Amino acid sequence: MLDMKAISKVYQTEMVQTHALRDFNLHVAEGEFVAVTGPSGSGKTTFLNIAGMLEPFSGGQYCLDGVDIGKLNDNARADLRNQKIGFIFQGFNLIPDLNLYENVEVPLRYRGIKSAERKRRVEECLELVGLAGRAKHLPQQLSGGQQQRVAIARALAGRPRFLLADEPTGNLDSLMARQVMELLEQINREGATIVMVTHDPELARRAPRNIQIVDGRVTDFTLYQGRSAATPLAAGG
């Protein structure tokens, strides 16, 4: 599903050059649930942004589902992102002017899905996260946990094969965190590939496969056999 070879990312300012990722190699197979851990500033979010094509990389090769991302223009990347990737952000990133229904509908609109189908999918996803009754609420009228569930519903509405989650429970209390994690596990069991960045070792251990990033490189990976519905033994460098 995801194949990164010798990926590097350099942030350049007038004064200093920062290597966020260097010689970064990782392969994630279809259906895997991978937790990415590492200290602050190690390059986890940069990796996630590059994986989600939210920012360009400086060198190396990145293939997503067999497509060489480096050869795509911006529109093609936006299309691919819309078709295959779902995002769950730590800060929820819901659009404040739109109600829950409209927030979940956003990726479907960009995909050009017809109104009736959009309605069906949005209602289905809100039902899944237990917020069907709040479709007309604005994000600021919900708790943090509820907002994160809306973000998950939005990520799922497009039926992505690849879900990227950046600290999905970072702003939630432990009860809410557990609920969100259970939801992600359920989604993974249904076939979606998930890459989740987290600081929480306990949460990471719930994922069948862990990788650690230090100084922009993958330094370790651990496989917890038997955790996932699909557990291929893919390894990163």
- Residues of the shown chain interacting with another protein in the complex, contacts defined by CB under 8 A: 45, 49, 52, 54-56, 74-75, 78-79, 81-83, 87, 89, 91-97, 106-107, 109-112, 154, 158
Return the number of the residue (151 or 184) whose C-beta is nearest another protein: 151
Return the number of the residue (62 or 89) whose C-beta is nearest another protein: 89
Give the nearest distance from C-beta 57 to another protein in angstroms.
11
Return the number of the residue (129 or 234) whose C-beta is nearest another protein: 129
Return the number of the residue (112 or 226) whose C-beta is nearest another protein: 112
Return the number of the residue (43 or 52) whose C-beta is nearest another protein: 52
Phi, psi for residue 17 in degrees, rounded to 5? -115, 125
Give the nearest distance from C-beta 49 to another protein in angstroms.
4
The DSSP 8-state label assigned to residue 1 in this structure reads: -
Return the number of the residue (81 or 209) whose C-beta is nearest another protein: 81
And the tokens for 194?
């998930």
Written as one letter, the residue type at 9 is K
CA distances from 218 to 6, 31, 53, 235 (A): 11, 20, 19, 10
Q: Which long-range contacts (CB under 8 A, 24 or more apart) does 36-40 make?
A: 36/195, 36/196, 36/197, 36/198, 36/210, 36/211, 36/212, 36/213, 37/197, 37/198, 37/199, 37/201, 37/204, 37/210, 37/211, 37/212, 37/213, 38/212, 38/213, 38/214, 39/214
Give the nearest distance from C-beta 149 to another protein in angstroms.
17
The neighbouring-strand residues paired with 85 are: 162
Give the nearest distance from C-beta 203 to another protein in angstroms.
21
Return the number of the residue (95 or 229) whose C-beta is nearest another protein: 95
And the tokens for 205?
């251990």
Give the nearest distance from C-beta 231 to another protein in angstroms.
29
Distance CA(200)–CA(10), nearest Å, equals 27
CA distances from 131 to 9, 96, 116, 197 (A): 39, 17, 20, 25
And the tokens for 230?
């699909």
Give the nearest distance from C-beta 110 to another protein in angstroms.
4
Give the nearest distance from C-beta 72 to another protein in angstroms.
12
